[in-house]
Structure 1
Amino acid sequence: MLFPLTVAVFVVALVLLALSGWYAARGRLLDDRMLLAGAVLEVGLVVQLVVALVHVGRVTGGGAERATFAAYAVTLPFVPPVALFTALKEKTRWAMVVVAVGAFGVAVMTARLQQIWGLGG
């Protein structure tokens, strides 16, 4: 895995988390700034998926870690679009909470990907 890419995805996920938390606290709805942060996060996750799938054979620690690594890498790109689509359809403050939870999930799963990758090294 590329550590700088992992850090970049993690930071963008935290920015999206903070932004959506701020929006939820202020009662604001989804806007272009939030969609842009989600799009940047999505691009990073797709690049991370490609890199992860290319290097999945290098994951050490047995089949369980390799399967978890691949499952996280494949699942991660689906989280931001689903959360943002939900926020587009749901026109309440809770929509921003859904985006915040999705961004938190992406941050945690990205950190876990890096942890699994580093098990053998």
Structure 2
Amino acid sequence: MAVVTRAVPAGLLLGKFLGVAGTITFAARTGLGRLPAGVTGRRVAGLGLLGSLGFTVALFITGLAYTDGSLTDHAEIGVLAAAVIAAAAAALVLARSPQDPTTRAATDGGTTGTGLAPAPRAEIDS
């Protein structure tokens, strides 16, 4: 297996995970934003892994970065492998995160049946 086949998924998985989860964590801890009720660190990690699923731009850049057809093929295999690994890892992490009752279907005229909690009353009126 070529080095690029291992390096590309490592870069995509680690880079996107750290970028998404790190930015969310940074924003929440510095007060630039806040997490919705019921969102835990495990869910943030799952979201970071879901961010690693995107591979369209990675495939485009692979075509631009490598002129050797063999390297391009190996890099494309790495990109697709990263997407499969990210999907499986995100599914495992999110399936094991506890379900918060505020994220289940609303029963008071909000978004019943969608799995989304209604917005707080103050946000609806503004």
TM category (shorter chain) comes to 0.3 to 0.5
Larger RCO (CA within 8 A; separation ≥ 6): 1
Q: TM-score, normalised by structure 2?
A: 0.40
Question: Which protein is richer in helix relative to its size?
Answer: 1
Which is greater in Rg?
A: 2
